[in-house]
Structure 1
Amino acid sequence: MRELLLELEQAVQQQKPVCYTCLVETRGSTPQKPGAAMLIYRDGSQAGTLGGGCVEAEVKRRALRMFEADAPEIMTFQLDSDYGWDDGLICGGRMKVLVDPIRSEADLEYYKSMLQLLDGDQGCTEAVVINPETAAGGSETDRYLIDAESNIVAWRGQPEPPSQLWDGLKPIKNRPRPYVNGGIAYLTFLQTCQLVIVGCGHIGQKVAALASDVGFEIIAVDDRQEYCNSERFPDAKQLIVGSFDTVLSDLTVNKDTFIIIVTRGHNHDEEALGHLAQTEARYIGMIGSKRKVKLIFEDLLRTGTPRAALADVHAPLGFDIGSQTVPEIALSIVAELVAYRNLDTIPASYQRPSLVEEIKTPDQVG
């Protein structure tokens, strides 16, 4: 989407007439899902896709008539035999597409705000009125950009949103998919979460591949160049090689960072957790048996790590799904990461008390 908005901005600056089109609602089987967007130029060329040649051809045909229109429009397309003539695409679903002709810098202001929110990568929601009868007080095509703190930062149409907008809004931190509620389509732009993988052995490598596929931004850390490299971690945004003591002391961690500790041994796991347990990371997990985890917790308690910090560590790491092989272990870990990212908690059936609760302090033993 970011690249499409940059191209839209360039087209307006070059005084090149363009229509912004966006899929706002689908029902049944469709080639794309809500949020898909496409630019259409007066000469019939395009950027982006709405997913399917026959659909795009019909959207273009109707959008080309709108370059002189005074207002956006929402068009409905029924994917039946009427639209299957050129490539056999007969999905049987329905699509609603917003078509917005952009001609001036004033028209562009809303999209500049959208680009700014996406560049900030905190997650945001675009609310589009698609049924004014249900969304009382709103007009069709009214649009509102809502940041991660549920503030409206820009609008296109009426400045005052219908009251139903707030009733249907889901927190973006819970990573909802696009949805419709009360005559309003909510198009969600989710934040990219950073996953730091400390330990680049077989499990770390497999976790990186799976986690990248589900939207995590990978940072791989190890003290061995032969393990921490672009050949083994082709999707990693960053590769950090060096002693764990040095690189973890300098690692930037924020409240949106996920961390897993999967090094090759007990001592390295303990060293890594000692550096990371008191950071503001959203999630820290460590692999290992219950016995190993308790031994590491005992050592760190003796050296001053607060019990509360260790209680927040997810260890042993991963859902208990009877994993035996490396791919199964990686799958159990990524499942836990996704659950915590999307739900902000561990599902009740997988919750377990922290092993730090089983460790008695000297005064408790006495």
Structure 2
Amino acid sequence: MLNFYQKLAKSLKQNPVVLATVTSTKGSVPREVGAKMLISADGKTYGTIGGGAGEAKVYQQALEILQTGEKKFVEIDLTGTPATQGVCGGTMLVWLELWTESENLNLVNQIIDILTSGRLRGAQCQRRSLAIVTPFNTDAKPYLETTNTSSLPQLKNHALIETLLPPPTLLIMGAGHIGFYLAQVAKIAGFEIIVHDERSDFATPERFPDASLVLTQAINLITEILEKIPNLYVALVTRGYVQDLEALQMLSNLQLQYIGMVGSEKRVRTVYKNLQLNPEFIQQIYAPIGLDIGALTPEEIAVSICAELIKVRRGGTGTSLSAKM
């Protein structure tokens, strides 16, 4: 979400943009409610509402709106009937609206500020958030309002309400080979990246350009930083079980969405044997970390870890999609 609005702000400074937003879905479709794509006056796009013929239809409608300024819904039929080209099995409704620098840039900048500062508002951010409201009529414009509603987009009073939440943060503890590749893969998957390693020659901004923070302090000195970060995921990919023990002692006092630890089964058992922590906390640990995809290289292990992060975040099963056929 943050990357999209940053791109939208940059585009608005150059050209008017049509913002396409999925507002409702039925059946099997490629994207969820709230998925967005922008189409600028120079024909460039960013984001996706699912690709294929449906997205092509939206693109063509957007080019017309760039000329007329008319807001409209576009229905995407993916039922696979003779009259359609999509075969996903469902339908999507997409709202198209013209955004310009003069009308909307200030709102976009506010959204970017909310999403950026929200990383440091801690638990308070989770209780009381701001949402962008998109009315579905020709006169009203999108606006912000305070909300205590679900983090999922909702339709209410003929408008789409989307809570503005910062992206999930992944703390990578260990700046070795796996951590190096995991930072790149997880960034692509939408995670904000923090890297920690007391070895300052490994943990550097130059080596981890995708990281928002690179920490080299002793483990006991970073607790205060981590306490302020909501929606925190942790991957322990340290160089040894001694570092794992230190990290787990510190992390046991934090609220985490996920914690995984790299290592062989023997290393994991050794860590658990030496831990003197609440058994409930130990049961939360995914160890050995990652999904079983036969990963061997650091690059493959990074993909395996990121797959498990997505599974936990989105509530997946981790089984092959073909097994459900």
Measured against the shorter chain, the TM-score band is 0.5 to 0.7
Does residue 36 in structure 1 map to residue 53 in structure 2? no
- Summarize deviations over 1:231-266 as a string: whole Å, max 9, x none: 321211111124x44444454234411111111112
Aligned pairs, number: 275
* Structure 2: gaps of 5 or more residues: 48-55, 77-84, 87-91, 119-124, 321-325
The equivalent of 1:252 in structure 2 is 226
Q: Normalising by the residue count of structure 1, what TM-score does the alignment of the two structures yield? A: 0.58
**d(CA) in 1 for partners of 2:44, 2:63:** 13
Q: How does 1:254-293 map to 2 (within 5 A)?
A: 254-293=229-268
Q: How does 1:145-184 map to 2 (within 5 A)?
A: 149-150=148-149, 171-172=150-151
Q: Paired residue for 1:342, among 306, 314, 320?
A: 314
Are the counterparts in 2 of residues 23 and 50 from structure 1 also a CA contact under 8 Å? no
**d(CA) in 2 for partners of 1:349, 1:76:** 36
What is the RMSD of the two structures over their aligned residues, measured on CA atoms?
Answer: 4.6
**d(CA) in 1 for partners of 2:134, 2:202:** 48
Compare relative contact order (CA 8 Å, sep 6+) and give the higher one, 1 or 2.
Answer: 2
Q: Paired residue for 1:23, among 20, 28, 42?
A: 20
SS at match of 2:206: coil
The equivalent of 1:82 in structure 2 is none
**d(CA) in 1 for partners of 2:289, 2:220:** 24
Choose 1 or 2 for highest CA Rg.
1
**d(CA) in 2 for partners of 1:110, 1:331:** 36
Distance 1:21 1:262, change over 3 A: same
Distance 1:257 1:34, change over 3 A: closer
The equivalent of 2:293 in structure 1 is 321
Identity %: 26
Are the counterparts in 2 of residues 207 and 334 from structure 1 also a CA contact under 8 Å? yes
Q: Normalising by the residue count of structure 2, what TM-score does the alignment of the two structures yield? A: 0.64
Q: CA deviation at 1:222?
A: 0.9
Does residue 300 in structure 1 map to residue 275 in structure 2? yes
Distance 1:54 1:144, change over 3 A: closer
Q: CA deviation at 1:349?
A: 5.9
Q: CA deviation at 1:198?
A: 0.7
**d(CA) in 1 for partners of 2:283, 2:167:** 26
* Structure 1: gaps of 5 or more residues: 11-17, 41-45, 64-72, 80-90, 131-138, 151-170, 351-366
SS at match of 1:224: coil
- Summarize deviations over 1:246-291 as a string: whole Å, max 9, x none: 4444542344111111111121111211221222222221111222
Q: Which amino acid aligns with 2:270?
A: L
The equivalent of 2:210 in structure 1 is 235
SS at match of 1:319: coil
**d(CA) in 2 for partners of 1:285, 1:23:** 37
